[in-house]
Amino acid sequence: MLRNEGERLKRVIVCTPKREYACTTNLEKHNIGKLGNPKVAIQQHDKLKSKLREFSAEVIDIPELDEHPNSVFTRDTALCTPQGYIRLRLGLETRQGEDEWMAAVLESLGEPCVGEIKAPGTVEGGDIVLAGTVAFIGKSIRTNEEGIRQLSALLKKMGYEIRIIELPDTILHLDKALMVLGPKQVLYCMEIVPKEKINDFEGIGISCGGDTTANIICLGDKELIVNRSNAIVIDRLEAERYMVHNLDLGEFAKGMGGPNCLIMPVERGA
């Protein structure tokens, strides 16, 4: 069950990049900036898994999907909700098929499917942030208007208020501009997220650019995972008395991903 991404992380799906992430020959097609070093990528991913387990989260590590180098970024493939999972339809053509792959995993765990995004709609998980009674959805180059319409209809039935945030083409997903820090706390990019969208949350505003993003993992209980290169955010969060676990996840930044991109949260709660 997952209603608020600010609650304690209890169960999560990850995908160790043992082969596919570092072997593609067409970087542009897969939207990968630079090939990762496979040995280092695995080491970094192992440290991420260790930190998640250290926090007592159950970590389910699944095999990569053949010929899908982006399958390491499990976040984008589905959305787990209080009633079950929603099967998404990814906006990058080379990632389509990952939804079916993740659906099989979730169903094997006993998660019911409560809906799916159908063509021509597209929605990627990095564009959705669940925050209690509010669902933030980013309209982006990967999540289109039709996808938002379908997703909104599903989430409204579960009692969510929908708040749509328009993203510039330079921002791949909403989780680079907005993430939850706790049950009523958010980290947000001031230049992108209108203040009125978060007026009933406690907001920590940052200026995004370069390595500075809102892409973090909330573990719960004011503990967070942040990419080590995101130094401005680390300093700001520590000043606000959050416990920050800074991990070197630089190999995944090469694939345009951050910490949040690497996890599929299945269950959160007290």
Ranges of each domain in the chain: 9-268
| pLDDT, average across residues 229-241 | 98
What is the predicted pLDDT for the residue at 227? 98
- The pLDDT tens digits of the residues spanning 116-141 come to 999 999 999 999 999 999 999 999 99
CATH of 9-268 among 3.75.10.10, 3.30.530.20, 3.30.1600.10, 1.20.1440.230: 3.75.10.10
Separation of alpha carbons 265 and 59, rounded Å = 10
CB 174 within 8 A of CB 129: yes
CA 202 and chain centroid, separation:
21
What is the predicted pLDDT for the residue at 117? 98
- Pairing relationship of beta strands 78-81 and 84-87 according to DSSP bridges: antiparallel
Quickly state the pLDDT bin for 29 (edges 50, 70, 90).
Answer: confident
- The pLDDT tens digits of the residues spanning 54-106 come to 999 999 999 999 999 999 999 999 999 999 999 999 999 999 999 999 999 99
Closest CA to 223 of 35, 38, 21, 8: 8
